[in-house]
Chains A and B, each alone.
Chain A
Amino acid sequence: DIQLTQSPSFLSASVGDRVTITCRASQGISSYLAWYQQKPGKAPKLLIYSASTLQSGVPSRFSGSGSGTEFTLTITNLQPEDFATYYCQQLNIYPPAFGQGTRLEIK
């Protein structure tokens, strides 16, 4: 099975900052990667798919890039509502798998 490793696991930042989260796959997955945001007590929300395509309704301050084994999620101009946990997920090779998550907290 494919393993996804996110870094960092924990990130502290301020409103207005730019942050980047990395997701590394144990083998190549082309661009079959999605990013989700989850707030405490809530269901995850799809942000980005196909590594860089923004899901409808997601603010443009979120962006994704990468292919193969290394991917990034970037959030520019952090807003208070962006403080949450973020997960990457690969959907190229069965079974689908998630990264362990990156918790983004307010500094």
Chain B
Amino acid sequence: EVQLLESGGGLVQPGGSLRLSCVASGFTFNNYAMNWVRQAPGKGLEWVSGITGSGGSTFYANSVKGRFTISRDNPKTTLYLQMNSLRAEDTAVYYCAKDPSVLNFRFDLWGRGTLVTVSS
């Protein structure tokens, strides 16, 4: 079955760190770019970061640049998002999302999401 499964969310204090993981199955992981998209409670969708299939190129929204790092381990078919210096406004459900080919920022497969809450 083609699917994405996120994990690693939780409650963290402002200024803290968290690493999200997304395990992919059912498709040839290294052939596809991957992204993280988030959704604050009751709000709309916001693209966070993207990475090419090889992992050689990464892209970030201005709101997270310098604080978040996207990476991938292709043999483990896993996507990561290292989140540092977390702020209250980073509170959201974080989805990993597959690109249908190279990084064109279209999202044809989504995980169920993992909730990150930044609060003291």
Q: A100-B44, A101-B44 are in contact. Are A94 and B107 (CB under 8 A)?
A: no
Interface residues in B68-120 by Cβ distance below 8 A to A read 95, 104-108, 110-113
Q: A43-B112, A43-B113, A94-B59 are in contact. Are A34 and B106 (CB under 8 A)?
A: yes
User: A97 within 8 Å of B by Cβ?
Assistant: yes
Q: A43-B111, A45-B110, A49-B106 are in contact. Are A95 and B61 (CB under 8 A)?
A: yes
- Residues from chain A with a CB closer than 8 A to the CB of B11 are none
A98 to B61, CA, bound (A): 13
Interface of B is mostly: loop
Would B45 and A87 count as touching, CB distance under 8 A? Answer: yes
User: A28 within 8 Å of B by Cβ?
Assistant: no
User: A54 within 8 Å of B by Cβ?
Assistant: no
Interface centre among A49, A87, A96 (most CB of B within 10 A): A96
Q: How large is the interface on B (under 10, 10 to 19, 20 to 34, 35 or more residues)?
A: 10 to 19
A49 to B95, CA, bound (A): 19
A95 to B107, CA, bound (A): 14
Would A43 and B95 count as touching, CB distance under 8 A? Answer: yes
A15-53 contact mask (Cβ, 8 Å, vs B): 1 or 0: 000000000000000000010101000111110010000
Nearest CB on A from B52, distance (A): 14
Interface centre among B37, B59, B107 (most CB of A within 10 A): B107
Residues of B within 8 A of A (CB): 37, 44-47, 59, 61-62, 95, 104-108, 110-113
